[in-house]
Amino acid sequence: MKLIFLGPPGAGKGTLAVRVKELLKTPHISTGVIFRDAIAAKSPLGLKVKAVIDAGKLVDDETTIALVKERLSQADAQAGYILDGFPRTIAQAEALETFSVVDKVVNFDISNDGAIERLSGRRVCRKCGFNFHTIFNKPKKEGVCDFCGGEVYVREDDKPSAVTKRLEVYRVQTEPLIDFYCKKGLLVDIDASPLVDEILVGFKKALRI
Ligand code: AMP
């Protein structure tokens, strides 16, 4: 199944995607993770996007579309995928239509306050990318990933000034995609406010799986 996870930062898209990828045996493709890996590796892509990402703004469409097009051409993405964090603009959504046919778009419904609560407590493993939370999902040992032993840190763009910007960018540039996909009959809404186990139940029900 070819899925898009749509929703504001802090909606829990990445956390749910980790569960759903096991369930559907399908790759989880997060543009945010790809960019962060590139930044960590100090690759040309990473050097190009670092300042924009740290400020909470969007990477330009051309760069992002080329990256996703290439990733979706790989063998493991032919039968299905979970696209997390892409598309984020109408231009990206229109470009995606030229190289892939999506089955469903899952819209993560959460209030601004709910998203801020998630983002302000989010901690991420630098090595495997797993998302923890200071209240809802603490690592067993503070600062250390339960799964790979990597360092658990605060993303630069989860700091308060960038969070405000990211939510504003979401409302202006990404939210119009809800209407875009609704008109195409692809949208399914899920309540993203509870904890991940409950979101998963709502997800399965909405997709009848
Ligand atoms: P995320 O991990 O999805 O919250 O993404 C982190 C950051 O990466 C975003 O705030 C953007 O700066 C950048 N980014 C991720 N996906 C996209 C996209 N589809 N278009 C533009 N920028 C993106």
Q: Are strands 104-109 and 81-84 parallel, antiparallel or unpaired?
A: unpaired
pLDDT, tens digit (0-9, with 9 covering 90-100), for 63-99: 999 999 999 999 999 999 999 999 999 999 999 999 9
Given a cut of 90, is residue 190 above it in pLDDT? Answer: yes
Asked if 129 contacts 36 with a C-beta cutoff of 8 angstroms, the reply is: yes
Residue 183 included in any domain: yes
Report how far apart, in Å, the C-alpha atoms of 81 and of each of 18, 72, 88, 140 are. Answer: 12, 8, 17, 31
Catalytic residue status for 13: yes
Report d(CA 1, CA 8) in Å as an integer.
22
- Which residues form the domain of 86? 2-112+173-207
Q: Report the atom number in ligand 1 closest to the C-alpha of 56.
A: 10
Q: Which amino acid is at 165?
A: K
Residue 145 included in any domain: no
What is the side-by-side order of every strand in the sheet holding 104-109? 28-30, 81-84, 2-6, 104-109, 187-191
pLDDT, tens digit (0-9, with 9 covering 90-100), for 101-140: 999 999 999 999 999 999 999 999 999 989 999 999 999 9
Catalytic residue status for 208: no
Report d(CA 39, CA 126) in Å as an integer.
11
Residue 142 included in any domain: no
Residue 157 included in any domain: no
Q: Look up residue 115 and give its two tokens.
A: 């998203």
CATH number for the domain that contains residue 25: 3.40.50.300
pLDDT, tens digit (0-9, with 9 covering 90-100), for 140-188: 999 999 999 999 999 999 999 899 999 999 999 999 999 999 999 999 9
The pLDDT > 90 percentage for the chain reads 97
Residue 140 included in any domain: no
The domain total for the chain is 1
Q: Is the CB of 53 under 6 A from ligand 1?
A: yes
Residue 80 included in any domain: yes
Q: Which amino acid is at 22?
A: E
The mean pLDDT value for 34-51 works out to 96
Helix (H) or strand (E) holding 165, with range, is: helix 160-169
pLDDT at site 161? 86
Given a cut of 90, is residue 27 above it in pLDDT? Answer: yes
Q: Report the atom number in ligand 1 closest to the C-alpha of 92.
A: 19
Q: Is the CB of 10 under 6 A from ligand 1?
A: no
Catalytic residue status for 88: yes
Residue 135 included in any domain: no
Q: Which residues pair with 144 in a beta bridge?
A: 141, 151
Residue 6 included in any domain: yes
